[in-house]
Chains A and B, each alone.
Chain A
Amino acid sequence: MVTIGLLHTTIRGDEKLILEAAKKRNVKVKLIDVREEIFNPKNYKIDFDLALERCVSTVKGMQATRFFESLNVPVINSSAVAAICEDKFITSLILQKAKVSTPEFALVFNTKQALKAVEQMGGFPIVIKPPLGSWGRLLAKVNDIDALEAILEHKDVLGSPWQKAYYLQKYVKKPGRDIRAFVIDGKTICAIYRHSPHWITNTARGGIASNFPVTNELSKLAKKASDAVGGGILSLDIFETDHGLEINEINHTTEFKNSERPTGVSISGTIIDYCIGKVKKL
């Protein structure tokens, strides 16, 4: 019988769906609350075949992943994939290098360089994001110099070191929606539109999900992006532009509980099937 170590912090609806899917497939799941573990390699006993990293905390998830990898336990997603996807700047660099269509971007550390970068990207509006962050938190659409200077000053005075690395992205005008594609092992299993009248369309910020029938264009782009970051279980946030689809961001511990119903696809089941396949190949 396959045993999966589910690395978690708080258990969300997504993890509950994964537990249900595992039960249906006769897969044993060992719940591992990483907050309660002692990651001492000398004393740690491994009693599962593979770890599935589902921590809501990026830092805890990454440290746990690296610990188990050091003990030769395969972890999905790997620390290499997570290191790329958790950082928007690194994701953009990797996508750019792999010639995957993505919005223009730059990273700077001060206001003077930010102004020059905005000029290079064709002027305002632009979007500022913390390189590390999620759920649409602390994103700013900046329409002019005054706003840019004010936001950067606030970040400098109030922010953590990560807030002082300014990831700038060319603003992409969206048709009141973007696309999220769920991609496992390079294959797009389903996708949703995230509708919102607001420029931030995250479902965590109130965006509404509906099914997006997967197209050839989407599948090809998603495969290329997945290959670029190292594969695994991913969700891709995608913009529709005048010149085709562009990858905005890639998530490595994707939330999907609101997407199974509109797509009719058991994302949780596909995740477990992927894990079973990985164990069988060990």
Chain B
Amino acid sequence: MKKSLCPVCDVEVTLENNTEESEIISCPECKTRLVVTSLKMKSAILEEAPKIEEDWGE
């Protein structure tokens, strides 16, 4: 299991084994939408997910 810190509330976030780069997840503590920007063997870098833009959708 890879671990990282929420960039908003600093709580430890555990990522599922099948997590992908660019995946959107929620912080279990503060519920902020986060994006996985980098994945390494045992760690990952999380950033706040980008805000919704005008052309986003289905």
Contacts and interface: CB of A to CB of B under 8 A. Distances in A.
Contacts of A252: 58
**Chain B interface mostly:** loop
Given A10-B24, A10-B35, A160 B54 contact: yes
B58 A251 contact: yes
B23 A57 contact: no
Contacts of B18: 16, 19-20
B57 A9 contact: no
A12 B20 contact: no
A78 interface: no
Give the one of B23, B54, B58 with max A CB within 10 A. B58
A132 B53 CA distance: 12
Interface string B13-42: 000001011111000000000010000000
Contact of B56 (A16, A19, A20, A56): A56
Contacts of A132: 54-55
Interface string A233-261: 00100000000000000011111000000
A33 interface: yes
B49 interface: yes
Nearest to A254: B58
A31 interface: yes
Interface in A179-235: 235
Contacts of A59: 55
Interface in A1-29: 8-12, 15-16, 19-20
Contact of A135 (B20, B21, B22, B57): B57
Contacts of B56: 56-58, 134-135
Given A56-B56, A134-B58, A135-B57, 19 more contacts: A9-B22, A11-B22, A11-B23, A15-B20, A19-B18, A19-B20, A20-B18, A56-B57, A58-B55, A132-B54, A133-B57, A135-B52, A137-B57, A160-B54, A235-B58, A251-B57, A252-B58, A253-B58, A255-B58
